[in-house]
Amino acid sequence: FTRSPKGFPKLKNDTFLRAARGEETEHTPVWCMRQAGRYLPEFRETRASQDFFATCRSPKLCCELTLQPLRRFPLDAAIIFSDILVVPQALGMEIVMVPGKGPTFTEPLKEVEDLLKLRQKVDVTAELGYVFQAITLTRHSLEGKVPLIGFAGAPWTLMSYMIEGGGSSTMAKAKSWLYRHPEASHRLLRLLADVIIDYLVGQVAAGAQALQLFESHAGHLGPELFQDFALPYIRDIAQAVKSKLKEEALPLVPMIIFAKDAHYALRDLARAGYEVVGLDWTIRPQEARAQVGKDVTLQGNLDPCALYAPKEKIGELVKKMLESFGTQRYIANLGHGLYPDMNPEHVGAFVEAVHAHSRHINKH
């Protein structure tokens, strides 16, 4: 039995995939986290009348939103429009998008007993098949222009949302579980990891050509908590996804781990089984390279707020970044997602500067 992605258009620009695997590239590939987003007027138009999660459940809208930035900018990869919170939804939790506040759980997990309310066995095709359909449709619609990235949130990040009920500046409720209820925390993290593994494998079966795992809330943990409650699951996900892809005769796609604000764990992350380690803007490129070594590709690191600078300045910052990282075994990106009030022209300036400067550096 194989769910092998078949009949997709031939890929014309594989620069991103080659850089992810550590092969030589003529230019440094570039994409942006949240490149499909509110900074684009066409995104706001498409999304205007729709509930956020209803948009996530519409393969046609997800496809349109994923393609919008590629019509404007010569990006080297597309990332499927979706949200990390579709996994807690698949576990049976209800989430609403509150204007001005963001995603909000109607009934967050308060007591250990609340874990029993979660679905213990999730059929990802039944619960998240709409994401798979969106990926397949988008992969066809891309016509081989660039590769399509699939993604998921990592267990700790999802757990923190499920307990906090939304965003939080301290994550005190979620972290209190790690200290007060370590066994229950591990049960929840294990349940999440199992769903994430099936979900990521399903994304590849549907046509995703790379996968990114977002540990967005890593910065709330210190080295010890990260070692106990985040890293083991991050490692396990890479290993299990790869062995399931082999079992199902699916393509072995490159995997990216992005653990925001976790430079204390870079050495471990570099050995966690991912081809690419994503970086936020709070670490020096040379330091990151020294810690991860030569066998892993690095991604990211420009402060998103740099895009508020004049275009010439953006070019200078990009040049400096490329000189620091080197143009090979590197994927240019921001250190976090694009913000809604950013000028699309400045995003274009960033993308073009990466291509121009990396080509120039490679020639000389």
Pairing between β-strand 102-105 and β-strand 95-98 as defined by DSSP bridges: antiparallel
How many residues belong to the chain?
A: 364
**114 — phi, psi (to 5°)?**
-65, -20
Q: What is the CA radius of gyration of the chain?
A: 19
Cβ proximity of 302 and 280 under 8 Å? no
Q: Which is the catalytic residue, given 38, 190, 235, 359?
A: 38
Give CA–CA dist 228/246, Å, rounded.
28
Q: What is the dihedral of CA 63, 245, 273, 203, to 10 degrees?
A: 20
Q: Which is the catalytic residue, given 14, 18, 47, 76?
A: 47
Pairing between β-strand 78-79 and β-strand 148-153 as defined by DSSP bridges: parallel
Task: List the beta bridge partners of residue 215.
Answer: 259
Q: Which is the catalytic residue, given 161, 233, 274, 330?
A: 161
| Residue 134 token pair | 């969106």
Residues with Cβ < 8 Å from 60, sequence gap 6 or more?
137
Q: Which is the catalytic residue, given 3, 21, 72, 83?
A: 83
Q: Is 34 labeled as catalytic in the residue annotation?
A: yes
Give CA–CA dist 358/360, Å, rounded.
5
Q: Is 161 labeled as catalytic in the residue annotation?
A: yes
> Both ends of the chain: CA-CA distance in Å?
50
Give CA–CA dist 118/318, Å, rounded.
45
Residues with Cβ < 8 Å from 222, sequence gap 6 or more?
264
CA 261-263-267 angle, 5° bins: 145
Task: List the beta bridge partners of residue 332.
Answer: 30
| Residue 216 token pair | 């967005």
Q: Which is the catalytic residue, given 34, 139, 289, 329?
A: 34
Which sequence positions are flagged as catalytic?
34, 38, 47, 83, 161
